[in-house]
């Protein structure tokens, strides 16, 4: 991101801020080994129907036994880009590096006590080497931490293999804030699955639709619609909406909704009449320490979420990722249910945005419950 500065004095311009309406929805009922609680969730958005809609999903979570959440992978990545004299030389470098994991680990740990090597991967194009570093970063989202580690690794690589030449600290094989296939395959951020079993009666009563209608819409909209649109590793209705609202409320890097929104909804009929509903988000990138977390509203929201506790490093960020996935499920479930009924989606937007019948003046501390 470019930083505005005064060309004459070479100093940054005066800082200002913007205000985004924020409401607290929930509680969202979450079940699991890492988070087992009912959690109120702040959402910052200009799209007013998101609050009551996501809150409807939260209500379903409480009446259906909770949302089960699981973190399957946890890492942050950066790919450095180097140039060699030939592909044959790069083949030698890669083979040699496969025996030097301990040296790579020592090199990156000189940059932080909270970073650890998890894995690395490579791609070669001609005489170019793309080296993708995968690390764990504790409670930080890890953008700067992994870049600092990659910078140290670059210096070590250039010293260890003198025929290599520097091209870039980031070779776009990371992949940071861009649509890709590699992030979902190899991992970037926290890979979280959230799932819930919804009895038929609750589906009809709370969502005003049937399990069959939601499964049918998911197939025809999320799966087939995303396919004909050329979607890359994505089959969902609006993951990005919920991610952005929660990221803004908790001081995250909002641009990470690009890779974060690449995820899947999966639905099934259970026992011929109940609804299994899940969301899979391979790239949730969140932190509870670092840039932006010093802001007062961010600190208060993290405390409300239980993500500001004095606990094992990494636990707060993992809790936030789980809450994020569960909230995405609430929003996704409610929107898909609404779209099974002709006119419901548009009526909601007219009522809450144009008519402003209920939420006329959002207040940063307002809580919605039902």
Can you tell me which residue has the tokens 């089959």?
A: 235
DSSP H or E stretch at residue 150: helix 143-160
Count CB neighbours of 154 within 10 A: 21
What are the φ/ψ torsions at residue 19 (nearest 5 degrees)?
-115, 130
Given the residues 34, 85, 119, 349, the one annotated as active site: 349
Strand blocks (E) in the chain: 5-6, 11-12, 22-31, 37-44, 67-83, 116-125, 128-136, 165-168, 189-198, 264-270, 274-284, 366-368
Is 363 considered catalytic here? Answer: no
Cβ atoms of 69 and 35 within 8 Å: the answer is yes
Over the Cα atoms of the chain, what is R_g?
23
Which one, of 146, 104, 134, 136, lies nearest residue 313 by Cα?
136
User: Catalytic residue at 349?
Assistant: yes
CB proximity list for 25: less than 8 A, separation 6 or greater: 40, 41, 43, 51, 54, 55, 58, 327, 330, 367, 368
CA distances from 11 to 23, 48, 63 (A): 36, 38, 55
Would you call 333 helix, strand, or coil by DSSP? Answer: helix
Give all strands (DSSP E) within 146-271, no chain letters: 165-168, 189-198, 264-270
Choose, from 47, 274, 344, 351, the residue flagged as catalytic: 47
Q: Do 213 and 338 contact (CB within 8 A), yes or no? A: no
Coil, strand, or helix at residue 31? Answer: strand
Select which of 253, 259, 308, 332 is catalytic: 253
Residues with catalytic roles: 47, 253, 349
């Amino acid at each position: 991101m470019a930083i505005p500065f005064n060309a004459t004095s070479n100093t940054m311009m005066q800082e200002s801020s913007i205000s985004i309406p924020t409401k607290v929805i929930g509680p969202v009922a979450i079940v699991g080994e890492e988070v087992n609680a009912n959690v109120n969730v702040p959402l910052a958005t200009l799209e007013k129907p998101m609050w009551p809609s996501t809150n409807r999903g939260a209500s379903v979570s409480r009446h259906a036994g909770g949302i089960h959440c699981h973190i399957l992978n946890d890492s942050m990545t950066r790919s450095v880009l180097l140039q060699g004299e030939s592909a044959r030389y790069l083949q030698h470098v890669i083979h040699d590096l496969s025996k030097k994991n301990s040296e790579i680990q020592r090199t990156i740990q000189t940059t932080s006590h909270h970073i650890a090597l998890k894995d690395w991967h490579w791609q070669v194009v001609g005489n170019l080497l793309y080296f993708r570093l995968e690390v764990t970063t504790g409670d930080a989202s890890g953008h700067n931490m992994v870049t600092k580690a990659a910078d140290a690794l670059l210096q070590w690589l250039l010293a260890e293999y003198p025929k290599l030449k520097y091209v870039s600290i980031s070779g776009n094989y990371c992949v940071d804030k861009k649509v890709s296939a590699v992030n979902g395959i190899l991992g970037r951020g926290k890979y979280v699955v959230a799932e819930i079993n919804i009895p038929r009666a609750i589906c009809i009563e709370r969502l005003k639709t049937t399990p069959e209608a939601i499964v049918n819409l998911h197939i025809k909209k999320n799966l087939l619609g995303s396919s004909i649109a050329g979607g890359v590793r994505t089959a969902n209705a609006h993951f990005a909406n919920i991610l952005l609202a929660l990221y803004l409320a908790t001081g995250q890097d909002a641009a990470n909704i690009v890779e974060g929104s690449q995820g899947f909804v999966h639905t099934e009929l259970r026992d011929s009449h109940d609804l299994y509903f899940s969301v899979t988000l391979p790239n949730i990138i969140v932190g509870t320490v670092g840039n932006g977390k010093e802001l007062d509203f961010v600190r208060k929201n993290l405390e409300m979420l239980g993500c500001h506790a004095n606990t094992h490093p990494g636990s707060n960020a993992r809790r936030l990722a789980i809450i994020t996935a569960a909230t995405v499920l609430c929003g996704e479930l409610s929107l898909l249910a609404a779209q099974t009924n002709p006119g419901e989606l548009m009526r909601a937007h007219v009522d809450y945005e144009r008519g402003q019948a209920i939420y006329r003046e959002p207040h940063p501390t307002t809580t919605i419950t039902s």
